[in-house]
């Protein structure tokens, strides 16, 4: 029996229900505009850290937003802070996408992901270079 290759793990998060499930301990639920369901519908997953319990990140453009207020509209906030998000430009959920649209969306997400990773590595190298420069200057 032939085994199929596993699908990328991130593709699970292309489904709104999987994104909504990430909003455990989300502070805004009933009576709020930014409920887990609305956050997920706008493309967000919940990725809290110890300093920011309300951090949400778009799965597609990787934009992180925090400091949510109960009356914030997730879709409007997403548009305001990441107007070039491919998910927003499609104006339909992944279940309604053609294969071509899905692959284009994934390609754009991967591009954003690579740029973010490269930027973080460049910053790390620059920080180490700065420390080395200081060490060299102290030898003189």
Domain ranges for the chain: 9-108
The fold of 9-108 is Inhibitor Of Apoptosis Protein (2mihbC-IAP-1); Chain A (1.10.1170)
Question: pLDDT (tens digit, 9 = 90+) per residue, 105-137?
Answer: 999 999 999 999 999 999 999 999 999 998 888
Beta strands 56-58 and 44-46, pairing class: antiparallel
Phi then psi for residue 92, to 5 deg, are: -155, 155
Question: pLDDT (tens digit, 9 = 90+) per residue, 1-59?
Answer: 678 877 788 888 988 999 999 999 898 888 899 999 999 999 999 999 888 889 999 99
Q: Cα–Cα distance between 106 and 97 in angstroms, integer?
A: 12
Question: pLDDT (tens digit, 9 = 90+) per residue, 32-47?
Answer: 999 999 999 999 999 9
**C-beta atoms surrounding 60 within 10 Å:** 26
């Amino acid at each position: 029996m032939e085994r199929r290759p596993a699908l990328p793990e991130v593709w699970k998060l292309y489904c709104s229900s999987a994104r909504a499930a990430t909003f455990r301990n989300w502070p805004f639920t009933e009576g709020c505009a930014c409920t887990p369901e609305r956050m997920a519908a706008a493309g967000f997953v919940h990725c809290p850290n110890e300093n920011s319990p309300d951090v949400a990140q778009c799965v597609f453009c990787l934009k992180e937003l925090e400091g949510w207020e109960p009356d914030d509209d997730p879709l409007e906030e997403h548009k305001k802070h990441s107007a070039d998000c491919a998910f927003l430009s499609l104006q339909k959920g992944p279940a309604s996408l053609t294969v071509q649209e899905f692959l284009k969306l994934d390609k754009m997400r991967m591009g954003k992901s690579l740029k973010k990773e490269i930027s973080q590595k460049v910053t790390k190298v620059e920080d180490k270079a700065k420390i080395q420069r200081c060490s060299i200057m102290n030898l003189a």
